[in-house]
Copies of this chain bind each other. A is one copy, B any other.
């Protein structure tokens, strides 16, 4: 975005974050030029561009008995309480992962907020499955988290750009889409 702003300083940029439903609705209504999201639980009628992929991660408190392992399999924590980030597409992603693994989690808490989920994990109330990994691996309160790959247990999730195919994009929207496409691909495959 910094790169786009330098190249196009007179274009006003507004940023909106929200659940899959909210964001996709705004794209379909023409209120957003584009959105970057996950390839899951999408409504019909969107133009989808694949950007990269992310592998969901297992988030544990830093003092968890398995925190020193490089990988933690889902089966190793399945008897423990889980905290679900219960908004789309995290809800569908979590359900998909356990369905694929043939496992049934013990859901202890549901939240609608990414950082509340991380804070509950840091307090030792359960584990969580999250895709985004903020730098630092700390909760907002400063408690450390152990963020682990589950290896082949968890399939990657596509990261995509969605636009409205019914609308002719403005010059600015086309330029922004090109920057998003370039930056998002670099992010995953540098060099």
Contacts and interface: CB of A to CB of B under 8 A. Distances in A.
A140 B133 CA distance: 8
Overall SS of chain A's interface = loop
Copies in the complex: 2
Contacts of A116: 15, 17
A53 to B, nearest CB: 18
Contacts of A112: 15-18
Contacts of A115: 17, 134
A136 interface: yes
B142 A2 contact: no
Interface in A116-134: 116, 120, 123-125, 132, 134
B125 A135 contact: no
Contacts of A15: 109-113, 116, 120
A44 interface: no
A109 B140 CA distance: 24
A152 interface: no
A14 interface: yes
A75 interface: no
A138 interface: yes
A-B interface, 7 closest residue pairs, ranked by CB to CB distance from nearest: A135-B142, A17-B113, A15-B111, A2-B123, A134-B140, A136-B136, A16-B112
Given A15-B120, A17-B111, A17-B116, 5 more contacts: A2-B125, A5-B125, A17-B115, A134-B138, A135-B141
